[in-house]
Copies of this chain bind each other. A is one copy, B any other.
Amino acid sequence: MHTTHPDGEAEFLTGLLGAGLLIPCDVPGVYGRSATFEAVVAGIDGLAFAEARRDDAEEVRFPPVMSRHDFERSGYLGSFPHLAGSVFGFTGDERSAFELSGRAAAHEDWSEFQGMTDVVLIPASCYPVYPWVASRGPLPDGGRLVDVGGYCFRREPSSDPARMQAFRMHENVRIGDPDVVAAWHAEWQERGARILGGLGLAVDVVPANDPFFGRAGRILASGQHEQQLKMEIVCPISSARPGAVLSVNAHLDHFGTDFGIATKSGGPAHTACIGFGLERVALALFHRHGIDSDNWPERVREQLWPMLEEAP
């Protein structure tokens, strides 16, 4: 499914590629990044870190792959089978290896020599957090707050640079009693809008829904939307049409139940997460302030790069 898009996005992408900020990699939604683009991402990442440190979050990082077994427990494959990426590897002898190699060199199908492994690509940075927190036993008083981030993968090839297959999130995950988690979820809607609005982005806070698969998914999406479980800070990213740059999600007891995370009183914990889409915020800044980050407003540059030597 290769989506087409209005001209605004195509023109913006052409500008990014022309300036060398993004580098085409032969596959829609997979790009290389220039040093300047990476400095912008690092600046946004730093702002997210500053918030997490203010809240005394535990920082942890996971690689872009995770346990398939843990992933199967998360329910992701029930909701978003179309977006998941699973990792396959070689299963065979020398004869198969020889055949595989020959077919690959001719760009022919070598999939029959691949078998499913015990790892999958991470679709959002918080997924490995839940089994880790569960493994540490009942929650302490006040629950837990975890800062996490890194490369994620979603199988949605698109020519819109705002919809990459490989992209980074910077997430905070709150795990605890229902009232604590609900208050945190509510607070971050305002807080997220303030942080991103402070970068000069024309943000709005709107109820949203995940792209659940199929007809049954439309019912899930509608319920999520009505209950305002998924709120998004949106702004123009790659065209005038607003898209999510920060997602503020309440999961109720979904992950607490699936992974067996217990509160001190023994009930399933509630969880919520906020996730900055780092490439999306970077793109929104280029879209808003222009392709040359040297000419961005001083107050934006100072926030992204408080230490001069970090500026691109």
Contact = CB atoms under 8 A, between A and B. Distances in A.
Interface stretch (A24-32, A219-227, A269-277, A294-302): A24-32
Contacts of A157: 118
| Chain A contact residues: helix, strand, loop or mixed | mixed
A141 interface: no
A242 interface: no
B151 A151 contact: yes
A214 B90 CA distance: 13
Nearest to A33: B61
B132 A87 contact: no
A92 to B, nearest CB: 8
Contacts of A109: 116
A14 interface: no
A132 B101 contact: no
Contacts of A72: 104-105, 107
Contacts of A115: 111
A90 B155 contact: yes
A132 to B, nearest CB: 6
A90 B101 contact: no
A155 B215 contact: no
A60 interface: yes
Interface stretch (A63-71, A192-200, A229-237, A246-254): A63-71
Contact of A77 (B70, B104, B151): B104
Contact of A65 (B30, B35, B128, B307): B30
A280 to B, nearest CB: 14
Contacts of A151: 63-64, 150-151
A110 interface: yes
A191 interface: no
A104 B86 CA distance: 12
A5 interface: no
A65 B166 contact: yes
A33 B63 CA distance: 8
A28 to B, nearest CB: 9
24 contacts: A25-B70, A27-B119, A30-B65, A30-B66, A33-B60, A33-B62, A38-B61, A64-B153, A65-B121, A65-B153, A65-B165, A65-B166, A72-B107, A81-B90, A84-B89, A85-B119, A86-B87, A86-B111, A87-B153, A90-B155, A94-B216, A109-B116, A110-B116, A119-B165
Interface of A: 23, 25-27, 30-35, 38, 58-70, 72-73, 75, 77-78, 81-82, 84-90, 92, 94, 97, 100-101, 104-105, 107, 109-111, 113-119, 121, 128, 131-132, 150-151, 153, 155, 157, 164-167, 213-216, 307
Given A32-B60, A78-B104, A87-B87, 6 more contacts: A23-B60, A27-B118, A63-B166, A75-B105, A78-B105, A88-B88
